[in-house]
Structure 1
Amino acid sequence: MNQRRGEAAPKTAESCADQPPTAAPAVAPPSRLAVLGLLLGIILATLDGTIVGTALPTIVGDLGGLDHLSWVVTAYLLTTAVSTPIWGKAGDLYGRKGSYLTSIAVFLVGSVLCGLAQDMGQLIAFRALQGLGAGGLFVGALSLLGTLLPPAQAGRSQSMIGVLLPVAMIGGPLLGGFLTDQLDWRWVFYVNVPVGAAALLIVGLCIRLRGERGPARIDFLGAALLTAGVLALTLIGTWAGTAYDWISPQIAGLAALSVAALGWFVHVERRAPEPIIPPRLFRDHNFTLAQVLSFLGGAAMLAAASYLPQYMQFVRGMSSTESGLLLLPLMLGMMGAQLFIGRAVAGGGGYRGYPIAGGAVATAGALALLMVGADTATAVASALTLVLGLGLGCLMQPAMLITMNSAEPRDMGAASGTTTLLRTIGGSLGVAVLGSVYTGRMAATLTDRLGRDGERLAGGHEVTPAVLLGLPDGVRDAFRAGVTGGLHSVMIGTAALCAVASAAAWLIREVPLRTAPGAPD
């Protein structure tokens, strides 16, 4: 059925998601406990992407396999990225609640197996399984919120999702380090079990959906092409500038594969009866702009969160835990902005001005960090991140609201999967591209000051904060200057991304948010 928004449809099990505005909604209003169950799934998905990092040295010491260490993280990110839109479409076809519960179960099985792994090969394989389940956690929670609540009321719940992202990004490494030090690295994975079990129980008992199953026509070719394209893009983000040069044959081949696969995917989706990512979504002007904001915001947020700790540790001499705590202003800025926007929109306020202002504030915040130097006080450097956090929060929260408001009920899962996928790809590519800029600037500074010795230190692979303390004063000063210069280059790139996002936000149209689930305003 290819129905326009607002047209009446027969009240059948297959068309229940497309009921007219006057029909009774097919869902019961969720309780706060039910919303908590959905948020727990997002906590699992986001936290597990960052919690493993601080445990990796201990894991290698126990299991060996140092040459495959990066794949412990990469395998998880790859399967999460490629499965996200597929889970979203599966929820649209087979039922969003059942799809969400299944993804939690797959994630928990993968978590337990990771904790039981006896060698690095097993751990990588089980991390891939865990990521497969994680792909459905975020998109499942978003699509269920979009089904249970109209966008006008979902603002507060979705602002909580925005709060969880920076909390997990910064809190994950802290929790991972604590569990590894106090218990065992395997508890980094076992800790998921009680949280996931609570989410399964709450969602299973407290959320009721009626008539959400649709006709099951799966776009297998589209799924395969999307998987190939996203895998190639993610590998580019992982390998480019590190394992291989940007202009190497390997990266060029991956880029060609990605372009070919995604181009063919677009062709297939236009003709598929039930496309993984329905092209009709992008006919909505606001939906397309929201995806642009998600992509750019994801790139800016992850780049800042990845390279600011480098400055804190190498230049200011902070530990990993301390560098995470010093990013609290960034996190609190994002949290405060998203909570404020959620409440303001729920109270009947508009949303168009927030991403415009947010992009401008984030641009100013990134440029303000250019004032940070090797001798800048730690408290000042930490406080300056607040402005960037406020801007990113104002930029990203409206993108989620616009996505939910622009998609029809039958496409809620696909829409959630699309915005999550683009945020993930944006973050991966943003870190890769800006990481190359960071490395290039640092290498230029070290080579200029130290000559051949600077070339050896340029990659930073042999230097840790502890090792840096034992180097001669001249080498330490040169390395700190290189890290500071690299951070400045990253912040210039971040400012450019945020400026483009602000410009794109001017094109958003202020369409009233729906005031009933599945009904236009």
Structure 2
Amino acid sequence: MNHLSQKQKVTVMIALMAAMFFASINQTIVSTAMPRIISLLGGMEYYSWVITIFMLMSTISTVLVGKLSDIYGRKPFLLSGIVIFMIGSFLTGLSSDIVQMIIFRAIQGVGAGILMSTTITAVGDLFAPRERAKWTGVMMSIFGLSSILGPTLGGVLIDHMEWKWLFWIFLPLGVIAFVMIWRMFPKTARTSSESIDYWGSLVLSASIVALLLGFSWAGNKYAWGSAQILGLFAASIIGIILLIMIERKAKSPVLPLSIFKNSVVTLSISVGFLMNAGMMGAMIYLPFFVQGVEGLTPTQSGFVNMPMSITMIILSTLVGRWIAKSGKYKHFAIIGIAVMIGSMLMMANMHSVAFAVASMTVFGIGLGLSMSVFTLTVQNALPPSQIGVGTATSTLFRNLGGTIGIAILGSVMTSTLTRNMDKAMASDPGMDLSQVDPKVAAELSGLLDPKLLMNQPLLEQIHTELPDQVQPLFAHMIDILRSVLSDTLSTVFIIGAILVGVGLLLTFFLKEIPLRTSNEQQAPKSDETSASGVNQLKKSTSH
């Protein structure tokens, strides 16, 4: 797209930002409302699956579309991503039970994976890495804006309207984004010399499914050492071995092994994996503290998330400009990840709504400083012909990190919650139900479930229907549930901080290659100021 004028590029960016906002707002709008939706549909034990299936399908579609978009161009995948996402959103709003929601969220995930990956890759097509940093910051700001509007709007809608409108309200925006991409985005010719790696795509998809199913079911549906879980992990390992054998011989591999010989790419992908693994735990489970422990409504929960989004928008925009001006990025990543770790340790010690707001504010600062750096480093370390597959691979491992992180932290939460609940009940003499009418005791025992805390209207209804003499016991039981949930979430946040901490250590080993100022295949040899970076780039991409 080097033939486009700056004005044409800005026009295309407006279309891309519309597509980005459409995809991101539809994801963030359900964050604060999902606990209430699950409590209405039932199937709390499958809560993580609603998130996991979305990320699973978006992960698979992301990596597959990366190579295909290098062959066929970005435009058809941007358009198809919007259409598939719209279909998935509409069907999700029609869900009558948790199983249907999981299936329809899978369709949503396919569209989201195609759309988000291709949007980021298209920015790489339009601008050289040095200028790209500024626009990447703008794109992250668009995501941050949706993070402000989404949770707040989702909370308001779930409190005052049927939950299906969360998935339907922005469908007209999808139509607008589709028309803008159709009219503004230039069409590129197919690379006829490239072939499609069908076997590699199939084996890669199967390996990802087996791996993520193993992590999702382990400690929840099956024990970690069960035959089912070990079988899934074994299948994944075998699939990875077969994939390596296939990709070595493939003319146009869907996942080129050569990119992993580049230390910058490998380290960037690894850090992105670990960051997302720990970060997603914080973002997914914070509403459990705000709504479950503190008793806020989804609307109020959205306002608690708002400071994070505001700080992320400001820092993402500023960091993009700073990187574009200086060409330096490593120190932003190190500082940002360190701030994220600090914020997650703050979350582990939350004891009030004010403390939760402070934690999320610090978390947003860390995200804004580091979020866009590692996509930029991957794109800068690879030749323009591999931007699509490089971006897709980076996104693949970030999504894998998020999915595996949610699964692991979800398993930790389930097991820790059970253990803490048993311990609390055994050590609290105030919960002796033997002195209560057997019928009432049985009813109270059935209410010893932390998911009750996520549905405030139901909680209030139960409170008014119980006999007066049982009210103090019920109030005490709710206090125990909140205490147990709070202690459990602290464990989840600490483990998330540890995962991000490993990513911070790896970041120190990242080589800082000067950002290119051109999208040409090779940098000018006469540029003495960046000779070492160019030599490193040539070495890492010559395989």
TM over 0.5: yes
Structure 1 distance, partners of 2:221, 2:487, is 23
Q: Which residue of 1 aligns with 2:85?
A: 107
Q: Which residue of 1 aligns with 2:365?
A: 390
Residue 74 and residue 108 in structure 1: after superposition, are their counterparts in 2 closer, same or farther (change >3 A)? same
Which of 301, 315, 338 aligns to 1:323? It is 301
Which of 420, 443, 451 aligns to 2:395? It is 420
Q: Which residue of 2 aligns with 1:307?
A: 285
Does structure 1 residue 155 correspond to structure 2 residue 133?
Answer: yes
Residue 438 and residue 93 in structure 1: after superposition, are their counterparts in 2 closer, same or farther (change >3 A)? same
| TM-score, with length taken from structure 2 | 0.81
Q: Which residue of 2 aligns with 1:448?
A: 423
Once the two structures are TM-superposed, the CA of residue 405 in structure 1 deviates from its matched residue by 0.9
Does structure 1 residue 207 correspond to structure 2 residue 166?
Answer: no
| TM-score, with length taken from structure 1 | 0.84
Once the two structures are TM-superposed, the CA of residue 438 in structure 1 deviates from its matched residue by 2.9
Q: Which residue of 1 aligns with 2:334?
A: 356
Once the two structures are TM-superposed, the CA of residue 214 in structure 1 deviates from its matched residue by 4.3
Once the two structures are TM-superposed, the CA of residue 28 in structure 1 deviates from its matched residue by 4.5
My pick for the range that moved more, 81-90 or 262-271, is 262-271
Percent identity over the alignment? Answer: 31
Letter in 2 for 1:394: L
How far does the alpha carbon of each residue in 1:264-314 deviate from its partner, in whole angstroms, 9 at most, with x for none?
A: 212211221111111122122111111112111212221111122211122
Gap regions ≥5 residues in structure 1: 1-16, 18-24
How far does the alpha carbon of each residue in 1:460-490 deviate from its partner, in whole angstroms, 9 at most, with x for none?
A: 3455453667463432332222222222212
2:377 partner SS? helix
Does structure 1 conserve the Cα–Cα contact (< 8 Å) formed by 2:222 and 2:228? yes
Does structure 1 conserve the Cα–Cα contact (< 8 Å) formed by 2:56 and 2:212? yes
How far does the alpha carbon of each residue in 1:161-183 deviate from its partner, in whole angstroms, 9 at most, with x for none?
A: 33344554564444345456666
Once the two structures are TM-superposed, the CA of residue 504 in structure 1 deviates from its matched residue by 0.8
Q: Which residue of 2 aligns with 1:13?
A: none
My pick for the range that moved more, 25-34 or 450-459, is 450-459
Structure 1 distance, partners of 2:516, 2:308, is 32
Once the two structures are TM-superposed, the CA of residue 344 in structure 1 deviates from its matched residue by 0.3
Structure 1 distance, partners of 2:410, 2:50, is 20
Q: Which residue of 2 aligns with 1:515?
A: 517
Which of 480, 499, 508 aligns to 1:497? It is 499
Structure 2 distance, partners of 1:67, 1:304, is 19
Residue 44 and residue 231 in structure 1: after superposition, are their counterparts in 2 closer, same or farther (change >3 A)? farther
Does structure 2 conserve the Cα–Cα contact (< 8 Å) formed by 1:26 and 1:210? no
Once the two structures are TM-superposed, the CA of residue 238 in structure 1 deviates from its matched residue by 3.5
Residue 315 and residue 60 in structure 1: after superposition, are their counterparts in 2 closer, same or farther (change >3 A)? closer
My pick for the range that moved more, 235-244 or 280-289, is 235-244
My pick for the range that moved more, 499-508 or 93-102, is 93-102
Letter in 1 for 2:484: G
Which of 77, 86, 89 aligns to 2:55? It is 77
Does structure 1 conserve the Cα–Cα contact (< 8 Å) formed by 2:309 and 2:364? yes
Letter in 2 for 1:475: M
1:104 partner SS? helix
My pick for the range that moved more, 395-404 or 87-96, is 395-404
Does structure 1 conserve the Cα–Cα contact (< 8 Å) formed by 2:89 and 2:167? yes
Q: Which residue of 2 aligns with 1:460?
A: 450
Does structure 1 residue 366 correspond to structure 2 residue 344?
Answer: yes
Which runs of structure 2 are paired with 1:112-131 in the superposition (5 Å)? 112=90, 126-131=104-109
Does structure 2 conserve the Cα–Cα contact (< 8 Å) formed by 1:26 and 1:209? no
**Paired residues, number:** 494
Letter in 2 for 1:102: S
Structure 2 distance, partners of 1:365, 1:168, is 21
Structure 2 distance, partners of 1:61, 1:73, is 17
Structure 2 distance, partners of 1:450, 1:60, is 24
Letter in 2 for 1:35: M
1:350 partner SS? coil
Once the two structures are TM-superposed, the CA of residue 207 in structure 1 deviates from its matched residue by 2.7
Structure with a larger share of its residues in helix: 2
Structure 1 distance, partners of 2:328, 2:62, is 30
Residue 457 and residue 355 in structure 1: after superposition, are their counterparts in 2 closer, same or farther (change >3 A)? farther
1:317 partner SS? coil
Structure 2 distance, partners of 1:482, 1:166, is 32
Letter in 2 for 1:439: T
Does structure 1 residue 478 correspond to structure 2 residue 480?
Answer: yes
Q: Which residue of 2 aligns with 1:436?
A: 411
Which of 225, 247, 263 aligns to 1:285? It is 263
Over aligned residue pairs, what C-alpha RMSD do you find? 3.3
Q: Which residue of 1 aligns with 2:380?
A: 405
Once the two structures are TM-superposed, the CA of residue 237 in structure 1 deviates from its matched residue by 4.3
Q: Which residue of 1 aligns with 2:67?
A: 89
Structure 1 distance, partners of 2:272, 2:313, is 17
Structure 2 distance, partners of 1:296, 1:325, is 28
How far does the alpha carbon of each residue in 1:194-239 deviate from its partner, in whole angstroms, 9 at most, with x for none?
A: 2222222222222335556342411111111111111123323433
Letter in 2 for 1:97: K
Does structure 1 residue 378 correspond to structure 2 residue 380?
Answer: no
Residue 265 and residue 152 in structure 1: after superposition, are their counterparts in 2 closer, same or farther (change >3 A)? same
Q: Which residue of 1 aligns with 2:244?
A: 266
1:514 partner SS? coil
How far does the alpha carbon of each residue in 1:400-427 deviate from its partner, in whole angstroms, 9 at most, with x for none?
A: 2112212222211111211222111111
Does structure 2 conserve the Cα–Cα contact (< 8 Å) formed by 1:445 and 1:481? no
Does structure 1 conserve the Cα–Cα contact (< 8 Å) formed by 2:292 and 2:453? no
Once the two structures are TM-superposed, the CA of residue 520 in structure 1 deviates from its matched residue by 4.5
Structure 1 distance, partners of 2:24, 2:198, is 28
Letter in 2 for 1:347: K
Structure 2 distance, partners of 1:120, 1:313, is 21
Does structure 1 conserve the Cα–Cα contact (< 8 Å) formed by 2:9 and 2:126? no
Does structure 2 conserve the Cα–Cα contact (< 8 Å) formed by 1:31 and 1:206? no
Does structure 1 conserve the Cα–Cα contact (< 8 Å) formed by 2:416 and 2:488? yes
Structure 1 distance, partners of 2:227, 2:488, is 26
Once the two structures are TM-superposed, the CA of residue 122 in structure 1 deviates from its matched residue by 6.8
Once the two structures are TM-superposed, the CA of residue 328 in structure 1 deviates from its matched residue by 2.2
Structure 2 distance, partners of 1:57, 1:370, is 23
Structure 2 distance, partners of 1:441, 1:117, is 31
1:472 partner SS? helix
